[in-house]
Structure 1
Amino acid sequence: HAYRDYLELHGLSVQLAEALAEYWHARVRAELGIAGQDPAGLEGMLRTEYQGCRYSLGYPACPNLEDRAKIADLLHPERIGVHLSEEFQLHPEQSTDAIVVHHPQASYFSAGGRA
């Protein structure tokens, strides 16, 4: 009888995972000295008007989840309690990974400019 509670908790955890990933991406930009180019407003951030991109596996820019196995072989996520399933999903749920590129020409799609 706690289905609504589960959905609310799940939604919150999804948003917190994404917010934390974006926080670390911003922190990396700051440590690289390129955060001064970040837009001042949320609208510019949503249009990715900053240098670099954070590519997540399973999304259109990196659709092959199987590539996650290569990352797991390099980083050994089990050291922090994260495991890769046979379907290339990270467990526990809401674990996330990404490939972060900070080249000035990095973009999500080349057609029509930055995403």
Structure 2
Amino acid sequence: RAELGFAGDDPDAIEDMFALKYRGARFSLGYGACPDLEDRAKIAELLQPERIGVKLSEEFQLHPEQSTDAIVLHHPEAKYFNAGGGRA
């Protein structure tokens, strides 16, 4: 956020951070906005995570265990949403 030049726009109150009153959004697979973990295979095909030692299992889990991925949007109007009909 600092490198992109808008960290100064972040709210001062920690409560506002928890209330998502900051610029951008981070969408993780398997949660409301991106409920289908199988989409991780498409991302893995594009990014080739094996280049950095990360592998995708048949169950669409990343290994080593603490590995993570996300779609990060910095647009000021990017907001979380639920596309999974109750799946989270």
Q: What range is the shorter-chain TM-score in? A: 0.7 to 0.9
- Select the residue among 51, 54, 65 that pairs with 2:37: 65
In the superposition, the TM-score normalised over structure 2's length comes to 0.85
The aligned residue for residue 84 of structure 1 is 56
Q: SS at 2:79's partner residue? A: coil
1:44 CA displacement: 1.4
Q: Identify the structure with bigger relative contact order (alpha carbons < 8 Å, sequence gap 6+).
A: 2
Indicate the structure (1 or 2) with the bigger Cα radius of gyration.
1
Determine the C-alpha separation between the residues in 2 that align with 1:42 and 1:84.
35
Compare the two structures and name the one with the higher helix fraction.
1
Q: SS at 2:46's partner residue? A: helix
In the superposition, the TM-score normalised over structure 1's length comes to 0.67
| RMSD, matched Cα | 1.3
Moved over 3 A (4+): none
Determine the C-alpha separation between the residues in 2 that align with 1:78 and 1:66.
17
1:109 CA displacement: 2.1
Give the count of matched residue pairs.
Answer: 82
